[in-house]
C-alpha cells in the first residue's frame, strides 16, 4: 500500500489542542463551599424553563472529582483545558466579601492541572451571574460592571502566577439578548425594553474591557487575554464572488454590535441607525476601555446559516427545511463550512492577531454505554468534518492557533438540562461514572499526530 499522504491534513506546529467546559455546567456543589446563588441556580427552578426540570445542583460533581477528570484528560493527551471560574464562588453576593473557600478551591484545581501537565485557559464569566447582582439590576445596570471590575482584579491577582491565558466573557449575546430579550431562553429570563436590552450588551462590553485592563495590570509576564464571541456565521450557498459578498454583508450586519466596539472603538453608523432612540448610553471613556487591544479572539462555532446573493437586496437568508441534517440539539444544523466562513469572515473584517476556536462540538441525546464503550460515530464524523474546514481556513491564511472541543464531559446543557450530551467523555449522572467515548479516542489520535486522522 502506498504511504498515506499527510501534507494536506497536518496542522501547524504548536497548534493548541484542548477541551472546554464551564463551571456552572460541570462543578455542581451549587450551594457548597460558601458559594452564592447564581441566576441559573434560581432560573432552573422556574417550572417549565428547563427540559425535565434539571438543576445544576450536582452536575458532574466536578467540584469533588476534578483530580480524576484531569487524570483522564492527561490519559487522552489533552494538554490544554478551557474552564471558567464561578463568580459566585469568589464573591457570593457579586461584590463585597471574598469567599476564601472558593478562592482556595481554584488554587487546588490549578495546582492539579499543573501536576498533570495541562495548561489552563480561564474564562472569567460563563453566564453564572451572582443572583444578588441580578437583584440590583443585573446586566441592565452598571452596578454589574463595577462588581465585575473588582472580581476581575481579584482573580487575576490571585491566580496570575498559575494562569496565563485569560478569556474575559463567553458569548455576550447569549447572556444578554437571549436572557433579557423578547424570546427568553436563558437566565434570568426577564424581558426588558429594547433600549435596556441594548444596555445589557453595552455593559457586557464594558466588563470585557475591565477584564483586559485587569490582565494588563496584574497578569504578570506572558499573560494574554481575549474575548470569546459566538459570531453568527453565514455560509455562501456557492463559493463564488457574489454569494461570498452576500454572506459577508450578512456577517457584518449580524455581528457588528459586538465586534465593532471591540475592534473599532465605536458603534458603527449602521448600527446606530438601526437602533435609533434605543441606542445604549455611552459615557466618556467607555470605548477606550472596550477597545483596548487584545491578544486573540476566541470564537465558538457550531452552526451556520445559508446565504446567497439576491437582486435588489444585500443578501437572501435561505432558512432550512426540517429535513436538513442536524444534531439532537435542535438548533445545531450540521454545517462544517460554518467553521471555515466564521473564521475567515472574522479575520477579514476585524483582523484579530490570532484566533482560537474556543468551542466546537455537538449535542446528542442517547449515547448508551455498551461494554464500556460509547460508539458515537456521529460525533467522530462531526469533528472530522469541521476540522477539515478549519484546516482549510488556516491554509487560506486565517491565523487560527488552536481548537477546543466542547466538551470534555457530558454536562448541564442550560435549558436543555442533561438531555443533550456534548461530551467526548460520557457521564452517568446517577453514578457519576466517566466513560471515554469513541470520539475521545479519535480526538486523542488527532492531537497525537497533529493531523486529521
Ligand atoms: C455554547 O453556546 C456555550 O458556550 C456552552 O456553554 C454550551 O454548552 C455550548 O455552546 C453548547 O450549546 O434553543 O433556539 O434558544 C452555543 C450557542 C446559543 C446555542 C443559544 C444554543 C439556544 C438556541 N448557543 N442557543 S434556542
The residues near 34 (Cβ < 8 Å, ≥ 6 apart) are 89, 92, 99, 100, 101, 102
Give the three cell numbers for residue 324: 436538513
Answer positive or negative: Cα dihedral of 312, 317, 321, 324: positive
Helix residue ranges per DSSP H, 80-141? 87-90, 100-115, 131-134
E strands, 171-283, in order:
224-229, 234-236
73/79 Cα distance (integer angstroms): 8
Prediction pTM value: 0.98
Q: What's the pLDDT at 370? A: 94
What is the tens place of the pLDDT at every residue in 4-52?
888 899 999 999 999 999 999 999 999 999 999 999 999 999 999 999 9
Beta bridge mates, 120: 81
314/270 Cα distance (integer angstroms): 14
425/68 Cα distance (integer angstroms): 13
Answer positive or negative: Cα dihedral of 86, 90, 93, 94: negative
Q: Mutation test of ligand 1: which of 50, 124, 128, 174 has the most ligand atoms closer than 8 Å to its C-beta?
A: 174
Q: What percent of the chain has pLDDT over 90?
A: 98
Nearest protein Cα to ligand 1, atom 6:
22
For residue 118, the CA-to-ligand 1 centroid distance in Å is: 26
Nearest protein Cα to ligand 1, atom 19:
331
For residue 234, the CA-to-ligand 1 centroid distance in Å is: 17
Give the three cell numbers for residue 285: 471613556
The finding on whether 300 has its CB within 6 A of some atom of ligand 1 is yes
Q: Is the peptide bond before 407 cis (omega within 30 degrees of 0)?
A: yes
Q: What's the pLDDT at 298? A: 99
Best CA proximity match to 91, nearest among 42, 152, 136: 152
Give the three cell numbers for residue 208: 470585557
For 16-449, CATH gives 3.20.20.80
Q: Which of 37, 134, 158, 171 is catalytic?
A: 171
Q: What's the pLDDT at 1? A: 74
For residue 253, the CA-to-ligand 1 centroid distance in Å is: 20
Residue 422 Cα: closest atom of ligand 1: 11
Q: What's the pLDDT at 379? A: 98
CB atoms < 10 A from the CB of 298, how many?
Answer: 29
Nearest protein Cα to ligand 1, atom 15:
185
Nearest protein Cα to ligand 1, atom 24:
174
23/51 Cα distance (integer angstroms): 20
Angstrom distances, CA of residue 385 to CA of 330, 391, 453: 19, 10, 11
31/39 Cα distance (integer angstroms): 13
Give the three cell numbers for residue 323: 429535513
Residue 302 Cα: closest atom of ligand 1: 16
CB atoms < 10 A from the CB of 193, how many?
Answer: 11
Q: What's the pLDDT at 430? A: 97
pLDDT less than 70: residues of the chain: none
> What's the distance, Cα to Cα, between the start and end of the chain in Å?
17
344/248 Cα distance (integer angstroms): 10
Q: What's the pLDDT at 4? A: 82
The alpha-carbon radius of gyration of the chain (Å, integer) is 21
For residue 300, the CA-to-ligand 1 centroid distance in Å is: 10
159/168 Cα distance (integer angstroms): 14
The finding on whether 176 has its CB within 6 A of some atom of ligand 1 is no
Q: Report the C-alpha dihedral over residues 323, 49, 408, 157, rounded to 10 degrees.
A: 140
**Residue 359 is a catalytic residue:** yes
The finding on whether 170 has its CB within 6 A of some atom of ligand 1 is yes
Helix residue ranges per DSSP H, 291-405? 337-350, 377-395
180/136 Cα distance (integer angstroms): 15
Best CA proximity match to 101, nearest among 128, 63, 127, 144: 63
Query: What percent of the chain is helix, strand and coil (3-state, nearest 5)?
Result: 40, 15, 40
The finding on whether 174 has its CB within 6 A of some atom of ligand 1 is yes
For residue 111, the CA-to-ligand 1 centroid distance in Å is: 30
The string of DSSP codes covering 261-296 is: HHHHSS--HHHHHHHGGGPPP--TTHHHHHT---SE
Nearest protein Cα to ligand 1, atom 21:
331
The finding on whether 305 has its CB within 6 A of some atom of ligand 1 is no
The finding on whether 123 has its CB within 6 A of some atom of ligand 1 is no
Cβ-based burial of 289 (10 A; exposed 0-12, middle 13-18, buried ≥19) = buried
| Count of positions (residues) in the chain | 453
Residue 414 Cα: closest atom of ligand 1: 8
Residue 186 Cα: closest atom of ligand 1: 15
Residue 183 Cα: closest atom of ligand 1: 15
CB 163 within 8 A of CB 120: yes
Q: Which of 158, 199, 359, 413 is catalytic?
A: 359
What is the tens place of the pLDDT at every residue in 93-129?
999 999 999 999 999 999 999 999 999 999 999 999 9
| 72 phi/psi in degrees, rounded to 5 | -65, -45
Amino acid at each position: 500500500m502506498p504511504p498515506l499522504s499527510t501534507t494536506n491534513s497536518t496542522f501547524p506546529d504548536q497548534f493548541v489542542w484542548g477541551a472546554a467546559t464551564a463551571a456552572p455546567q460541570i462543578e455542581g456543589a451549587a450551594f457548597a463551599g460558601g458559594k452564592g446563588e447564581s441566576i441559573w441556580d434560581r432560573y432552573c427552578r422556574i417550572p417549565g424553563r428547563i427540559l425535565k426540570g434539571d438543576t445544576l445542583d450536582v452536575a458532574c460533581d466536578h467540584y469533588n472529582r476534578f483530580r480524576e477528570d484531569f487524570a483522564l484528560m492527561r490519559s487522552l493527551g489533552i494538554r490544554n483545558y478551557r474552564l471558567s471560574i464561578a463568580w459566585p464562588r469568589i464573591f457570593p453576593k457579586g461584590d463585597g466579601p471574598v469567599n476564601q473557600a472558593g478562592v482556595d478551591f481554584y488554587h487546588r484545581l490549578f495546582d492539579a492541572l499543573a501536576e498533570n501537565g495541562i495548561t489552563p485557559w480561564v474564562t472569567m464569566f460563563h453566564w453564572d451571574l451572582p443572583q444578588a447582582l441580578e437583584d440590583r439590576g443585573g446586566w441592565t445596570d452598571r452596578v454589574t460592571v463595577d462588581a465585575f471590575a473588582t472580581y476581575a482584579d481579584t482573580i487575576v491577582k490571585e491566580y496570575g502566577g498559575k494562569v496565563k491565558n485569560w478569556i474575559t466573557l463567553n458569548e455576550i449575546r447569549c447572556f444578554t439578548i437571549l436572557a433579557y430579550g423578547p424570546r427568553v431562553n436563558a437566565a434570568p429570563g426577564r424581558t426588558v425594553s429594547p433600549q435596556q436590552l441594548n444596555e445589557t450588551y453595552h455593559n457586557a462590553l464594558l466588563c470585557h474591557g475591565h477584564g483586559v485592563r485587569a490582565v494588563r495590570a496584574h497578569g504578570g509576564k506572558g499573560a494574554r487575554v481575549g474575548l470569546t464571541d459566538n459570531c453568527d456565521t453565514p455560509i455562501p450557498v456557492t463559493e463564488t464572488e457574489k454569494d461570498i459578498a452576500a454572506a459577508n454583508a450578512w456577517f457584518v450586519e449580524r455581528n457588528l454590535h459586538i465586534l465593532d466596539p471591540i475592534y473599532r472603538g465605536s458603534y458603527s453608523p449602521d448600527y446606530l441607525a438601526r437602533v435609533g432612540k434605543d441606542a445604549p448610553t455611552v459615557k466618556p471613556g467607555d470605548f477606550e476601555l472596550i477597545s483596548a487591544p487584545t491578544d486573540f479572539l476566541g470564537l465558538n462555532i457550531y452552526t451556520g446559516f445559508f446565504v446567497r446573493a439576491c437582486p435588489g437586496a444585500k443578501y437572501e437568508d435561505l432558512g432550512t427545511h426540517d429535513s436538513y441534517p442536524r444534531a439532537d440539539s435542535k438548533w445545531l444544523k450540521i454545517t462544517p463550512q460554518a467553521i471555515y466562513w466564521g473564521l475567515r469572515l472574522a479575520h477579514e473584517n476585524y483582523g484579530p492577531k490570532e484566533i482560537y476556536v474556543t468551542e466546537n462540538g455537538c449535542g446528542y441525546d442517547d449515547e448508551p454505554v455498551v461494554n464500556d464503550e460509547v460508539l458515537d460515530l456521529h460525533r467522530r464524523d462531526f469533528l472530522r468534518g469541521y476540522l477539515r474546514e478549519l484546516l482549510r481556513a488556516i491554509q487560506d491564511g486565517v491565523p487560527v492557533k488552536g481548537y477546543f472541543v466542547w466538551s470534555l464531559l457530558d454536562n448541564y446543557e442550560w435549558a436543555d438540562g442533561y438531555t443533550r450530551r456534548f461530551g467526548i467523555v460520557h457521564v452517568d449522572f446517577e453514578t457519576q461514572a466517566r466513560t471515554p467515548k469513541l470520539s475521545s479516542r479519535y480526538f486523542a489520535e488527532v492531537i497525537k499526530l497533529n493531523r486529521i486522522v
